[in-house]
Amino acid sequence: MDWESTGAELFVRIDPGEPLVASLGRVAMQVPFRLAAITSGVGMIERVRLGFFDAGFDDYLTTDIRGVHDVSAITGSIVPRDGYPAVHVHAIFNDDRYATRSGHVIEAYCHVTMEIFLHLGSLDVQRVKTAGVPATRIVRAGGDSGPR
């Protein structure tokens, strides 16, 4: 993995065998930023675990997909949760017959290379888990999620 930052933009190259989500988390610990929007990403993966959020269960139902896939798009965010970067990634990818799959990426492993671009922001927000509400959500840093 390698990365380069201008202060407002961040490029991350992930190398064969490296994990996508964990690599973005490691970069977020090294590069000082408040939050990031994953604006673009392409490359190839050789295995991926996707999740589909089940609100009644308040967790992800997961499935593992094996084989080499071409990644067409990656989007998401990196926002602090409990003082650590919470990496939230969705992707669209296809196999060698052009069958497309997509979803929430629990983790994916690089096959040849992955190229990820992020826009770094300065909004004072955080990801929180609210009792009695499924999933987590992004709120202003003080926890106040009401309108301004």
pLDDT in tens, 68-120: 999 999 999 999 999 999 999 999 999 999 999 999 999 999 999 999 999 99
How many structural domains compose the chain?
1
Domain of residue 26: give its range: 2-140
pLDDT of residue 20: 98
Q: Which two tokens stand for residue 96?
A: 């060698």
- Does residue 6 belong to any structural domain of this protein? yes
- Does residue 146 belong to any structural domain of this protein? no
- Does residue 148 belong to any structural domain of this protein? no
Q: Cα dist. 117→6, 29, 42, 52 in Å?
A: 12, 16, 9, 24
pLDDT of residue 142: 74
pLDDT of residue 145: 55
Reported as a pLDDT band with limits 50, 70 and 90, residue 141 is confident
pLDDT at 148 over 60: no
- Does residue 145 belong to any structural domain of this protein? no
pLDDT of residue 32: 85
Q: Cα dist. 25→31, 57, 66, 95 in Å?
A: 10, 26, 23, 26
